Amino acid sequence: MIRAATVNDVAEIRAMIRELAEYERSAEQARATEEQLREAMFGEHPAVSALIAEDDETGETMGYALWFPHFSSWTGTRGMHLEDLYVRPRARGGGHGKALLASLAAICEQRGYERFEWWVLAWNQSTIDFYKSLGVDFLDEWRVCRLSGEPLSELAAEAPAGLDRS
């Protein structure tokens, strides 16, 4: 039911990213191309990894999880950031999401990662309820910060001269 993504899955992952973006009311923001995803997952220096959920009988792709390691200065260890978790609507409730999360938790345990973290949209109550059923801790005191576009460029222009930008 769950397997590591291969380069042959990139087009299907790209399609599901679009589906997820539409579900999250942000389709215009999902600009990643197949080429970018292929490089990010399978290039010389992979930035992310992915798991695929398949239907046991048909082999049809039902969902995916896209993740990457991060580091905690507090614990001194790596952790896992789940960028995307998506199960197609027709497959929801069939155990694919839980199987993807359980597989990622097993990867964390195997690699000695102490934290497994992700974000969820505040309006997505059915997903929040699902996560609560798994025992997830919600860090309500933390806010997500994002700097992009023109404000990012404006702040970057204020960087000290002579900074090594490599």
Active site residues: 131
| Tokens at 161, concatenated | 């001269």
Dihedral of the CA atoms 116, 24, 20, 147 (nearest 10)?
-60
Whether residue 41 contacts residue 12, with contact meaning beta carbons closer than 8 Å, is answered with no
- Alpha-carbon distance of 117 to 37, in angstroms, equals 21
